[in-house]
Amino acid sequence: MKKLKEKKTHISMGKRLKRVKRSSGVFIAPSFLGVMTFFVIPFIVIIYYSMVDNPISRNFVFLDNFKNIIGNAAFRSAVSNTAIFAGVSVPLAVVLSLLLAILLESKIPFRSQFRTFFLSPMMVPVASVVLIWQVLFHYNGVVNDMIAVVGAGPIDWFKSAYGRIVLTILFLWKNLGYNMILFMAALASIPKDILEVARMESATALQTFFKIKIRYLSSTILFVAIMSLINSFKVFREIYLLSGDYPVDSIYMLQTFMNNTFRNLDYQKLSSAAVLMSIVMVLIIGFLFIVENHFGKDVEG
Amino acid sequence: MSKPKKTLQPWEAERERARKAAKRRRIWSYTKRGFGTMFAAFFAILFLMPIVLTITNSFMSSSEISSNYGMVFATTSSGGKVYIAEKVTLKFIPDMVSFSQYVTVLFKSPEYLLKFWNSVILVGPIVVFQLTVATLASYGFSRYRGRIREIIFFLYIILMLMPYQVTLVPNYLVSDWLNILDTRWAIWLPGIFSPFAVFLLTKFMRRIPISLVEAAQIDGAGEWQIFAKVCFPLCKGAIASAAILVFIDYWNMVEQPLILLADAEMHPLSVFLSKINSGEIGLAFAVATIYMVPGLLVFLYGEEYLVDGITYQGGVKG
C-alpha cells in the first residue's frame, strides 16, 4: 500500500497509471484463470456439495454431512492421529532446526559442508529411501539391534503404536534442512549493531538469544511452523510407501482416509472433509499470525 | 610463578588476571567449538546415512541383497508377519562391487525405465509451464498493487498453504468435468496453475527497484518490453530457485497420481517403487538410486539457487 502511494505521487498521472494497471493485469490473466478453474470454482462447488444430500438429487441438508463425518469413527481417528503427529513433530521440527541453524552460525569448521549434508535429504524422493527405512526399522533390523544393547525389547516399529515415532524421525530427517536454511537466513539478517551493543553490555549468549534474537526470529518461526505443519501432512507419502492403503491404526492419517474415500467416491464425505479441513487450516494459520503479531510487533519496521 | 603473589604490583596482578581470563575464554571457546563440530558431525552422519546406504547397496549383487535383507521384503510385501529368527545384516560396503542390478534395470526390465519416463513426462511440463505462467503473473502482481490484486494475491497464499487433503478434491472434480481423469492432463493442469511459484517470484520481483522500470518506461518501452528486457533478466536466478523447488515437490509426488490416475501403467516411479515385489528386490536399490540421481544432480549444481529459493520463500532475504 505504501509503495502504491509512492508510485502515484511519482508518476502523478492517473491515466498512465490506469494503463499500467490494465496492461500489467493481462500478465496475471492466465494464472488467474487457471487458479479459478482448477482450485477456486470447484472449491465453491465443493462447499455446495458438502451441504446437499447427493450431487444428483441435490436436496439441501445444511450441516448433516458435517455431522455424519464427525460421527465417522475412521475420520475421527484420522483427525486425532494427524493432530497428534503434527502436534509433536511440528514443534520438534521448529526447535531442532533452530538449534542446527545456531550451530552452523557459530564458528565451527566445515560449515558449508554441514549445510549441504543437512539439506540433502530434502532432495531425495521419499520412494528412494523407503527401502533403507524398511531395513533399519525392521523387526530384526538394525535399530532393534541397537536398542537391544540398552536392554529394550525388540519393537515392531511399523505395525504398532511406535509407528508414530518412526514417522516423526522420517519427517524430521526430511524437513530439518529446509527449516534450518530459513533460520540461518533470519539469523544472518539480525542487525549487527544491536548484537554488538549486547556484547558490550556483556550480555551472555543465552540472554542475547532470548532477549534479542528470538524477537527478530519471530516471523521466521511463524513461517517455519506453518511450512512444517503443511509438510507434516505430506508424511502420507512415507506411510503409503511403507504400509500401503491400510496402515496400523496409530498412523492412519487424514490423507489416508481421503485416499480411501476417493476409492468409492463418496462426494459428501470428501467434500465435507475438505471443507472442514480448510476451515481448520485457516483458523490455525490465522491464530499463528495473531500470536506472531502480538510478540513480534516491536521489531518490524 | 617464581615470584610470590604478594610482591606483584596491582597493575601486574590485573594484567595477569586478564591474561588468565582470556586463556580461559579461549579454552572454553575451543571446547564449545569442538563439541559443536562433533554434534554437527553426528547429525551429518545421521542425515547422510540413508542416502549413502541406498547408493552403496545398489552395487551389491542381487544374491547378496537377498541374503542380507531378503526377509525384510518377503514379509512386507506379503503383508503377513512371518518372522524368521534371523538377523537383518546391514552392510555399508558390498562384498563385491557389482553392476548387475544396474545392468538388469537398464537393459533387461523395461518396466522400471518406463516408470522413470512416466515421472519425467509428468514433472517436466509442470516445471516448465508453471514457471512460465508464474513469471508472467508475478510481473503483474509486482508491477501494480491495487486492492483487487492484493486480494487475489492473498487468495493465492491461502491456496498455497492448503494441504492436498483440501486441494485434491477440487482437482478431482474439475478433472471429472473436463473429462481428463486418468489422463496426464489431470496431473499437468493443476500443477501448472499451482500458485506456489507465483508467490515465490512475486516476493522476489517486488524488490526490483521501481526506478529501473520507470527508466525503461521513459525510454518508451511497453509493458511487454519492460517484462522481457528489464524484469526477466533480473529474475533468472529466482526462476531457477523456484524451478528447483517445484521440481523436487513434483518428482516426489505420491498423492496426485494415486487419486487422479487410476491406471497404474501411468504412475510415476515414486509410487511404483513401493510396489516392487520380493522377487525383484535385488533391483530395488538400483532403481531407488536411479530415481535419486536427478534430485542429487540438481542439488549438486544448484545448491545456492535452492538455498536462495528457500530464503525468498521465508521472505527474510531477497
Give dist(CA B228, CA B314) in Å, integer. 27
Which of A52-66, A88-102, A222-236 is predicted most confidently? A88-102
For residue B145, what is the nearest residue in chain A, using CA coordinates?
A4
Tell me the HSE value of B209 on the side-chain side, using a 13 A CA sphere: 4
Tell me, yes or no, if B193 comes closer than 8 A to chain A by beta carbon.
yes
Residue B74 has a pLDDT of: 57
Residue A291 has a pLDDT of: 84
| Range in A200-214, A222-236, B65-79 with the lowest mean pLDDT | B65-79
Give dist(CA B35, CA B128) in Å, integer. 45
B:264-293 residues touching chain A, CB 8 A cutoff: 269-271, 273-274, 284-285, 288-289, 291-292
CA proximity to B313, closest of B237, B234, B204 = B204
Asked if residues A182 and A224 have their Cβ atoms less than 8 Å apart, the reply is yes
Q: Is residue B50 situated within a structural domain?
A: no
Confidence of residue B311 (pLDDT cuts 50, 70, 90): confident
Q: Is 60 exceeded by the pLDDT of residue A177?
A: yes
Amino acid at A110: F
Q: Is residue B308 situated within a structural domain?
A: yes
How many percent of chain A have pLDDT more than 70?
Answer: 93
| Range in A64-73, A85-94, B7-16 with the lowest mean pLDDT | B7-16
Confidence of residue B84 (pLDDT cuts 50, 70, 90): very low
Number of domains chain B contains:
1
Only one residue has cell 521465508, namely: B314
B289 and A128: CB-CB below 8 Å?
Answer: yes
Asked if residues A178 and A119 have their Cβ atoms less than 8 Å apart, the reply is yes
Residue A62 has a pLDDT of: 78
Asked if residues B142 and B198 have their Cβ atoms less than 8 Å apart, the reply is no
Residue B87 has a pLDDT of: 60
Q: Is 50 exceeded by the pLDDT of residue B318?
A: no
Amino acid at A106: S
Tell me, yes or no, if A182 comes closer than 8 A to chain B by beta carbon.
yes
Only one residue has cell 502504491, namely: A4
B:101-130 residues touching chain A, CB 8 A cutoff: none
Asked if residues B187 and B256 have their Cβ atoms less than 8 Å apart, the reply is yes
Give dist(CA A87, CA A95) in Å, integer. 13
pLDDT tens-digit readout, A104-120: 988 888 888 999 999 99
Look up residue A124 and give its DSSP letter. S
Tell me, yes or no, if A56 comes closer than 8 A to chain B by beta carbon.
no
Strand partners, A52: A60
CA proximity to A177, closest of A226, A219, A228 = A228
Q: Is 60 exceeded by the pLDDT of residue A82?
A: yes
Give the 3-state DSSP-derived string for B35-99, with helices as H, strands as E and coil as C.
HHHHHHHHHHHHHHHHHHHHHHHCCCCHHHHHHHHHHHHHHHHHCCCCCCCCCCCCCCCCCCCCC
For residue B303, what is the nearest residue in chain A, using CA coordinates?
A116
Confidence of residue B33 (pLDDT cuts 50, 70, 90): confident
Residue B278 has a pLDDT of: 56
B:68-87 residues touching chain A, CB 8 A cutoff: 69, 71-73, 75-76, 79, 81, 83-87
Tell me, yes or no, if B91 comes closer than 8 A to chain A by beta carbon.
no
Residue A11 has a pLDDT of: 47
Give dist(CA B225, CA B231) in Å, integer. 9
| Global confidence as pTM | 0.87
- Domain of residue B165 covers 108-314
Q: Mean pLDDT over residues B302-310, rounded?
A: 89
Confidence of residue B78 (pLDDT cuts 50, 70, 90): very low
pLDDT tens-digit readout, B214-235: 888 888 888 888 899 888 999 9
- Angle between helix A41-49 and B164-177 (nearest 10): 100
Higher-confidence position of B85 and B265: B265
Q: Is residue B159 situated within a structural domain?
A: yes
* Complex ipTM: 0.86
Residue A245 has a pLDDT of: 80
Look up residue B108 and give its DSSP letter. I
List of chain B residues whose C-beta atoms are within 8 Å of the C-beta of residue A119: 299, 303, 306-307
Q: Is residue B61 situated within a structural domain?
A: no
Q: Mean pLDDT over residues A40-66, rounded?
A: 85
Q: Mean pLDDT over residues B30-57, rounded?
A: 90
Domain boundaries, chain A: 2-49, 73-299
A157 C-beta neighbours (distance < 10 Å), count: 24
Asked if residues A166 and A158 have their Cβ atoms less than 8 Å apart, the reply is yes
> For the domain that residue B233 is a member of, what is the CATH number?
1.10.3720.10
Q: Look over chain A and give the mean of its residue pLDDT values, rounded to a whole number.
A: 85
Residue A116 has a pLDDT of: 92
Q: Is 50 exceeded by the pLDDT of residue A301?
A: no
pLDDT tens-digit readout, B119-147: 999 999 999 999 999 999 999 999 888 88
| Range in A7-16, A79-88, A153-162, B242-251 with the lowest mean pLDDT | A7-16
Contacts across the A-B interface (CB distance below 8 Å): 323
CATH class held by domain A73-299: mainly alpha
Q: Is residue B193 situated within a structural domain?
A: yes
Confidence of residue B100 (pLDDT cuts 50, 70, 90): confident
For residue A187, what is the nearest residue in chain B, using CA coordinates?
B316
A132 and B310: CB-CB below 8 Å?
Answer: no
Residue A21 has a pLDDT of: 79
A161 CB-near residues (< 8 Å, 6+ apart): A248, A249, A250
DSSP E strand boundaries for chain B: none
Among candidates B54, B165, B269 on the partner chain, residue whose Cβ is nearest the Cβ of A254:
B165
pLDDT tens-digit readout, A143-174: 887 888 887 777 888 778 888 999 999 999 99
Q: Is residue B131 situated within a structural domain?
A: yes
pLDDT tens-digit readout, B162-185: 988 899 999 999 999 999 988 999
Q: Is 70 exceeded by the pLDDT of residue B75?
A: no
Q: Mean pLDDT over residues A217-225, rounded?
A: 88
Higher-confidence position of B1 and A75: A75
Cell representation of residue B24 = 580461559
Q: Is 60 exceeded by the pLDDT of residue A255?
A: yes
Residue A168 has a pLDDT of: 94
Q: Is 90 exceeded by the pLDDT of residue B251?
A: yes
Give dist(CA A24, CA B223) in Å, integer. 7
C-alpha distances out from residue B136 to A133, A224, B94, B169, Å: 42, 28, 51, 27
Amino acid at A30: P
Q: Is 70 exceeded by the pLDDT of residue A7?
A: no
Q: Mean pLDDT over residues B85-99, rounded?
A: 70
Q: Indicate which of A5, A16, A20, A27 best probes the interface with B, i.e. most B CBs within 10 Å of its own CB.
A: A27
- Angle between helix B232-251 and B196-205 (nearest 10): 150
Which of A132-136, B33-37, B245-249 is predicted most confidently? B245-249
